[in-house]
């Protein structure tokens, strides 16, 4: 049996979904709601990047990027890999990458292109 996001969402009715699962999800979306943090995560989705490369690519200071990366690491949105003296950051796992890819696809769709199924 293949596990999909839809099955994960629909396997529990909204009345039965415990608050303990909703609060961390809301925290994740709150973190990603900051445009600077979202840009940093998107920079790390396809390849691992050092703080300096992220800062230069986004026109931000390395200290600001490091601050946001600490928050993103604590929330398990990105992970760090040390190589010698350098630390590289990338999306924490396929769930983060897939969620961001799906949301980017969603915002690129013309409004009203996919009407809701009334059934």
- 88: Cβ contacts below 8 Å, ≥ 6 apart: 48, 49, 50, 80, 81, 82
- CATH ID of 19-98, from 3.40.50.300, 3.80.10.10, 1.10.10.10, 3.40.50.150: 1.10.10.10
Residue linked to tokens 């996919």: 114
Which pLDDT band, with edges at 50, 70 and 90, does 20 fall under? confident
For residue 72, which of 54, 92, 86, 102 has the smallest C-alpha distance?
92
Rg (CA), the chain: 17
User: In the chain, where are the structural domains located?
Assistant: 19-98
* Cα separation, 59 vs 10, whole angstroms: 41
Residue 23 is encoded by which pair of tokens? 């609060």
- pLDDT one-digit tens code per residue, 73-101: 999 999 999 999 999 999 999 999 999 99
Residue 1 has pLDDT above 50, yes or no: no
């Amino acid at each position: 049996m293949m596990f999909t996001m839809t099955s994960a969402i629909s396997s529990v009715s909204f009345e039965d979904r415990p608050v303990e699962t909703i609060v961390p999800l809301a925290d994740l979306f709150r973190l990603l709601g900051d445009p600077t943090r979202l840009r940093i995560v998107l920079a790390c989705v396809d390849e691992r990047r050092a703080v300096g490369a992220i800062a230069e690519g986004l026109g931000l200071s390395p200290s600001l990027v490091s601050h946001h990366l600490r928050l993103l690491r604590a929330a398990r949105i990105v992970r760090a890999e040390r190589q010698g003296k350098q630390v590289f950051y990338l999306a924490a796992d396929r769930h983060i990458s897939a969620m961001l890819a799906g949301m980017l696809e969603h915002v690129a769709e013309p409004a009203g292109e996919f009407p809701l199924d009334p059934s």
